Amino acid sequence: MHYLIDGYSVIHAWPDLKRALDRRLAHARELLVQRLQGFQDHRGEAVTVFFDGRSGPRNPKLQPHDLEIVFSDQGQTADMRMEQRVGSVKKPGIFIVVTADHAIVNTVGALGAMTLSPERFLEELQAAEKEVAEWLDEARGRNKRRFQGG
């Protein structure tokens, strides 16, 4: 599967990102990208996040090693870019579009993509984060026993 994330829709829907938005938009974007990178790394699913904005920031924190970040060009919106991505493939069922925008849900759904609300996707992401945390705890415990001779 390939997740297409409506960046600003998610930022406004997730409580921690919405609070970060009070500090500044760039900070909320950075936090979202970090969490999406962790999700992609753990799940092994492709993730592309879309933002409105002609050129996007030149911030190194928004340059993860393989997470695709798309900023819309002048005269386009992130919504248009997501819809174009879904419409550009022969099998749009490979996409899960994460957005709260009902117009996008209707359009990409009609094209054959699946959709998730930001709230439902947050549940998936938190489950993945919990799995990673549990794995790390187990690995730390094994290492501790190994180095303590137990």
Domain 2-147: CATH architecture, name and number where available: 3-Layer(aba) Sandwich (3.40)
pLDDT of residue 74: 85
Q: Which one-letter amino acid corresponds to residue 94?
A: I
> For 121-142, how does the pLDDT look when each residue is reduced to its tens digit (9 = 90+)?
999 999 999 998 888 777 777 7
Residue 92 corresponds to which tokens in the numbers above? 């749009």
Confidence tier at 99 by pLDDT (50, 70, 90): very high
Q: Pick the residue with more confidence: 59 or 74?
A: 74
First-residue to last-residue Cα distance in the chain: 42
**pTM of the shown model:** 0.85
Instruction: Let me know if 86 is exposed, middle or buried by CB neighbors in 10 A (0-12, 13-18, 19+).
Output: buried
Contact in structure between 2 and 8 (CB atoms under 8 Å)? no
Between residues 54 and 104, which one has the greater pLDDT?
A: 104
pLDDT digits (tens, 9 = 90+) for 37-66: 999 999 999 999 999 986 555 554 555 568
For residue 118, pLDDT beyond 70: yes
Find out whether 26 and 60 touch, Cβ atoms under 8 Å: no
pLDDT band at 23 (very low <50, low <70, confident <90, very high): confident
Percent residues over pLDDT 90 in the chain: 69
Give dist(CA 53, CA 68) in Å, integer. 15
pLDDT, mean over the chain: 89
Pick from 71, 55, 54: which is nearest to 7 by CA?
Answer: 71
pLDDT at 150 over 60: no
Question: What is residue 99's DSSP assignment?
Answer: -
How large is the angle between the packed helices 15-23 and 25-43, nearest 10 degrees?
140
DSSP 17-82: HHHHHHH-HHHHHHHHHHHHHHHHHHH--EEEEEE--SS----GGG--SS-EEEEPPTT--HHHHH
% pLDDT > 70, the chain: 87
Note the pLDDT of residue 54. Answer: 60
Question: Quick one: pLDDT at residue 61?
Answer: 53
User: Taking Cα atoms as reference points, which of 94, 95, 93, 101 lies closest to residue 117?
Assistant: 101
